[in-house]
Amino acid sequence: MKWIDEFRAFILRGNVVDLAVAVVIGAAFSGIINSLVANLITPLIAAIGGQPDFSNLTFTINGSVFRYGAFLNSLISFLIIAAVIFFLVVKPINALMARMGRGAEAKIPSRECPYCKSAIPVTATKCAYCASEVEPVPPPPDAPVSEPAR
């Protein structure tokens, strides 16, 4: 019975539910974009280029049919989905995060661990990578002295 409880906890985690919702919404969105490409974009390109439907474009080699027109439709769909996601999701989220002051974490001065050569904070007394004891670097003489919290 323990594995059933573990499985239930796994399924009911927020990230699993969010992922399932994202997949369903993504599939529905993909259907809308495919319809947009097949019913609006492709005919618009066909009006300019003269080809009414890309999905019928094929060529044959030794009896094997290569449907490159269907690939072109899928490629156009992918590019439109990528553009929509970038301009309507990624760019606004990045702008929001920049406005909220997140995303640009404070730079912590670092130095090299003398044993494993990885970057560690200047004030570290133990390397997080190799667990070696290291001497902390004293602050420069002109550094402001902060009062301890009371």
- The secondary structure of 107-135 as a DSSP string is PPPEEE-TTT--EEETT-SB-TTT--B-P
Domain ranges of the chain: 2-99, 106-138
Residue 135, amino acid = E
List the pLDDT tens digit at each of the 150 positions of the chain: 788 888 877 777 767 777 888 888 888 888 888 788 778 877 787 778 776 667 788 899 999 999 988 888 788 878 887 887 888 878 988 888 888 776 555 567 888 999 898 888 888 889 888 988 988 777 666 655 555 554
Considering the segment(s) 2-99 as one domain, its CATH architecture is Orthogonal Bundle (1.10)
